[in-house]
Chain A
Amino acid sequence: MRTSDLPASISLWRKIVNKLMTILVIVAVILAVIPLLLILGDVVIRGAPALSLGFLIHSLPTSTKGLSGGIGPAIVGSFTMVGIAALISVPIGVGAGIFFSEWASSRLSTISGFMNDVLTGFPSIVIGLFVFVIIVLPTKQSSAFAGGVALSFVMLPIIARTTGESLKLVPMTLREASMALGIPRWKTVIRIVISTGKRGLLTGILLAVARATGETAPILLTASTSIYFAKSIFQPTASLTVFIYNYGTSGSASWQTEAWGAALVLILIMLGLNLLVKLTIGRNPIGARMEL
């Protein structure tokens, strides 16, 4: 129903208020979209000058004069830490997610699911402090391993929830049909439920990977940084996000340009992961949102 279809008896005042609110709502949409366009535009414009093959593979810049060095160790470090995080969080997260969906009515499922939701909203810096206390303090060493563990706790609740939500969408009739054939429950879960819901599973993992790749605070406290390629996962390790923070807030103009370059690389990785998510889930997003 449109305003113009309304009977003439509606007072002018109500029509004005109606129009005004429509305009306000549209203004809100414009205000929400503008920052995104500005940020993406600025990252491309300011980051492009720094990009080159050498920038992607060399060790971190040490000279503040002119563009020098690259973000090789930061890229490798970010992928290493996200890899470690995925190794830890995927099995636990998927396991918990299956439990949430297949034993949804159990008390453990309710409590753990609730805790999981709460954990999703937790500030990631708190998780960074936690991992600092349990790993960095005892070993007296910042490392990619500690960073990976911190990121795994960021990823875990995301994977658990998306897994749970997407497996709940698998029709109950499939489970019943399988059980009716005398197939045991564990086999039903693995062969029927998981294989039907694997797209949702993959979506959750990709979302979690994207979120972890963009995290700064937990890594800053646990992995520190390094200008060289790390030789083992038990050494301080550079990452794209910490690089952007350190070099972006430095006083050197060339370092700042390099931070923008790294920001462009990071945004491209994030957009790539997002595109992958969209391709996996198609037009029907199942609990798959970037905001988490």
Chain B
Amino acid sequence: MQFRLLRGDTILIIILAAAALFIIGLVIALAVELYSGSVASIFQFGPGFLIGSQWEPGKNVFGALPFVYGTLVTSAIAIVIGFPISLGVAIFISEKLKSHLTFGYLLGTVVDLLAAVPSVIYGLWGVFILIPLLRDYVEKPLHSSLGFIPLFSGHPFGYDFFTAGVILAIMIIPTISAVSRDVLSEVPNSQREAMFSLGATDWEVTQKAVLPYARSGIFGAFILGLGRAFGETMAVTMVIGNIPSISSSFFSPGATLSSIIANQFGESSGIFQSSIIELGLILFFVALLINVLARLLLWRMTRGTRVKV
């Protein structure tokens, strides 16, 4: 009897531990297989691949720099626009709506719904609605008034870094605001009460007692949002133009690591394909770094209890 019971437990723990091990194995396999898929490109171009600014499939010359640049520029635009908005939403729900829980919950749900919209629908909407809108009401006025600044030079055409950045900003809002909301709700009330008792205004409480306390968690949310912007594929692919160029203008077409994979992978083979897989390998390590950093920050903030992202 005793022996039989013990065996049941052993079988269960073996099965469950195997499932848990599978996840670790999957992350390792991702790295190994992406490496094996890009080995031809790695040997041919070496570390120069990272700083090569030419991407010409016709001549079999490949360098990742235009895409690294595109990824950084679009993500920067997304963060500059998206982060303050997300933080505003989080502050509104957790600080202003403290006594209206139902409304706060509803608003949170609505903002969360933004994340439920598939990436490809953002892309479709971007192509047909956002591009004409930004081109005619933002890019053209900026270009004609401030065109002497390199950032706003070029030919505002709509398919460019700027549009991609704006779409990304919309897409990272639910991520950053949801995590920040969780983090702000972890701030103990005594923190706020102490500040109020000193005669502070609502904003001073938020600014001086709440935000500093939640600092590392909010930074974690920021990094997670950045991670989402780095990896986002379809919406960006559809609005960025997919031209491997490095331009100082926001209003010129470009490409990101993920957009060029989606855009060119289908027609690739041989060393071309291998180079694209190497772009994926770069994306893998960037994503790994960003996510590990973000999780560590969030874990520290919430002292071991995991923030549900």
Interface residues of A (CB under 8 A from B): 1-3, 6-7, 9-10, 14-15, 17-18, 21-22, 24-29, 31-33, 35-36, 38-39, 42-43, 46, 91-96, 98-100, 102-103, 108-109, 111-127, 129-130, 132-134, 137, 153, 156-157, 160-161, 165, 184-187, 189-190, 210, 213-217, 220-221, 224, 241, 244-245, 248-249, 256, 259-260, 263, 266-267, 270-271, 274, 278, 283, 287, 289-292
List the interface of chain B (C-beta within 8 A of A): 5, 8-9, 11-13, 15-24, 26-27, 29-30, 33-34, 36-37, 84-89, 91-92, 96, 105, 107, 109-125, 127-129, 170, 173-175, 177-178, 196, 199, 201-204, 206-207, 224, 227-228, 230-234, 237-238, 258, 261-262, 265-266, 276-277, 280, 283-284, 287-288, 290-292, 294-295, 306, 308-309
**Minimum CB–CB distance for B298 against chain A, Å:** 9
Chain A nearest CB from B80 CB (Å) reads 13
- Asked whether A22 and B203 contact (CB < 8 A) given A96-B22, A117-B306, A124-B231, the answer is yes
B30 and A130: CB pair below 8 A?
yes
Residues on the B chain within 8 Å of A115, using CB = 23-24, 26-27
Contact between chains at B9 and A186 (CB < 8 Å): yes
Contacts A27-B88, A112-B23; A290 near B113 (Cβ below 8 A): yes
Contact yes or no, B202 A36, CB < 8 A: no
CB pair B20–A100 under 8 Å, yes or no, is yes
Alpha-carbon gap, A100 to B22, bound state (A): 13
Whether B19 and A39, one on each chain, are in contact in the complex, defined by CB atoms closer than 8 angstroms, is no
Q: Is the CB of A266 within 8 A of B309?
A: no
Of chain B, the residue at the smallest CB distance from A288 is B308
Kindly list 7 other residue pairs between chains A and B, CB separation below 8 angstroms, not including A10-B201, A120-B309: A25-B88, A42-B129, A220-B265, A220-B266, A221-B261, A241-B234, A291-B174
Let me know if A112 and B20 touch, CB within 8 A.
yes
A186-B109 Cα distance, complex, nearest whole Å: 37
- Give the CA-CA distance A157 to B111 in the complex, in Å: 23
CB-CB < 8 A to B18: which residues of A?
95
**Is B23 within 8 A of A123, CB to CB?**
no
The answer to whether B21 touches A214, judged by C-beta atoms less than 8 angstroms apart, is no
Q: Is the CB of A127 within 8 A of B199?
A: no
Contacts of B207 in A (CB 8 A): 21
Can you name the residue of chain B whose Cβ is closest to the Cβ of A249?
B238
Contact (Cβ within 8 A) A103 B16: yes
B121 adjacent to A25 (CB under 8 Å): no
Contact across chains for A291 and B175 when beta carbons are under 8 A apart: yes
Q: B118 near A266 (CB under 8 angstroms)? A: yes
**Which residues of the partner chain A approach B294 to less than 8 Å between Cβ atoms?**
121
Given the known inter-chain contacts A32-B86, A287-B308, please indicate yes or no for A210 contacting B19, CB distance below 8 A: no
Of A46, A99, A248, A289, the residue contacting B123 (CB under 8 A) is A248
Q: A28-B84, A118-B295, A121-B290 are in contact. Are A156 and B116 (CB under 8 A)?
A: no
Judge whether B121 and A267 touch: CB under 8 Å: yes
Question: Can you pick out 17 interface pairs between chain A and chain B where the beta carbons lie within 8 Å of each other?
Answer: A39-B125, A42-B128, A92-B19, A96-B19, A96-B22, A99-B19, A117-B306, A129-B34, A134-B29, A165-B308, A185-B8, A214-B116, A241-B234, A248-B124, A248-B238, A249-B238, A289-B112
Check B5 against A184 for contact (C-beta < 8 Å): yes
A123 touching B232, Cβ below 8 Å: yes
Cα–Cα distance between A203 and B206 once the two chains are bound (Å): 34
By a CB distance below 8 angstroms, the chain B residues around A31 are 85
User: Closest 10 A-B residue pairs measured CB to CB?
Assistant: A28-B88, A123-B231, A95-B19, A214-B118, A291-B115, A186-B12, A287-B308, A129-B280, A99-B16, A18-B201
Decide if A38 touches B129 in the complex (CB within 8 Å): yes
A256 to B276, CA, bound (A): 29
Q: Is the CB of A124 within 8 A of B233?
A: yes
A7–B115 Cα gap in the complex (Å)? 43
Most buried by B among A32, A160, A190: A32
Of A121, A127, A165, A214, which is within 8 A of B306 by CB?
A165
Q: Would B234 and A217 count as touching, CB distance under 8 A?
A: yes
Q: Check B122–A39 contact: CB distance below 8 A.
A: yes
Would B9 and A184 count as touching, CB distance under 8 A? yes
Given A120-B309, A245-B120 in contact, is the A126-B34 Cβ separation under 8 Å? Answer: yes
